[in-house]
Amino acid sequence: MVMFTQDNGVVQQLEKGAAKLGVELNAEQLSLFTGYLDLLYRWHKLFNLTAVAPDRWVARHLLDSLSVYQFIPLTDKIKNCVDIGSGAGLPGIPLAIAMGSTNWYLVEKNTKKCGFLLRVKMELGLDNLKIVNASAEQLNDFLMGLRGDDKNEKLNIQDLRANIKKIAFGSELPKTFDLATGRSVFGSDGMLDYCHPLIKNGGVVLDMHGKYSGTPRNTNKWKVEKFSKVRVPNMNAARHVICWSKLS
């Protein structure tokens, strides 16, 4: 059985790769990362968590996730972040480990995958990690009710809060988020449509792509703060990140 926690080569590859991306990891964080890889190895065949071979996980999963760290405004205003369609917890878990004082809400509609995410949270003791078993659309419906945007007179706020605690496994949810991440399997337009109701005005969406043709444009709701090709250590595949800020 592979044990990433006992592989010094994995630790060195992760530490050096993260440093190239501007992320300095301490011994505790490195231990959390290798612990996550061990859990992923034990669970991925059962629940089809990843199609990537284990010897590529450091680059394709961890470093690729950390590559967006440089685009995050590191201020005290970034407190609650949401990872849409988190799957195996990527990029949410690596970013939660790197940003221990920030809450990360991993939104995943697949219940079995949420079981894995909960196991990671419990076994690694990641208190800043919150798991939400819902689609982005379902989460938006719940938060609209919480904010009072839903004008349905039959809406019972106590029932609503109970349902939120159910899908969030006991965690409270903020009414809006400061930042969202997601790998754009549905394109930028889809990503922004999903995120718009979830993000506060002035909040940020980090839109992750492989190849990206053309140039993203401002809209009446979103401003392109930065568009950049990203070089991920030990990866040859193209990577692009669009940093959007919400205008209204």
Q: Percent of the chain at pLDDT above 90?
A: 67
Region 88-108: mean pLDDT is 96
Per-residue pLDDT at 153 exceeds 70 = no
On the CB side of 207, how many CA atoms lie within 13 Å of its CA?
Answer: 31
Q: Evaluate whether 194 touches 132 at the Cβ level (below 8 Å).
A: no
pLDDT at residue 5, rounded to an integer: 72
> Which tens digits make up the pLDDT trace of 172-200?
899 999 999 987 666 788 889 989 999 99
- The widest CA-to-CA distance across the chain, in whole angstroms, is 59
> Rounded distance, CA 248 to CA 240, Å?
25
Q: What are phi and psi of 75, to 5 degrees?
A: -125, 170
> Rounded distance, CA 220 to CA 92, Å?
28
pLDDT at residue 3, rounded to an integer: 73
**Sorting pLDDT into bands at 50, 70 and 90, what band is 170?**
confident
Q: Is 47 exposed, middle or buried (0-12, 13-18, 19+ CB in 10 A)?
A: middle
* CATH T-level assignment (fold) for domain 73-246: Rossmann fold (3.40.50)
**Sorting pLDDT into bands at 50, 70 and 90, what band is 128?**
very high
Per-residue pLDDT at 40 exceeds 90 = yes
pTM: 0.93
Per-residue pLDDT at 2 exceeds 70 = no
Q: Evaluate whether 168 touches 131 at the Cβ level (below 8 Å).
A: yes
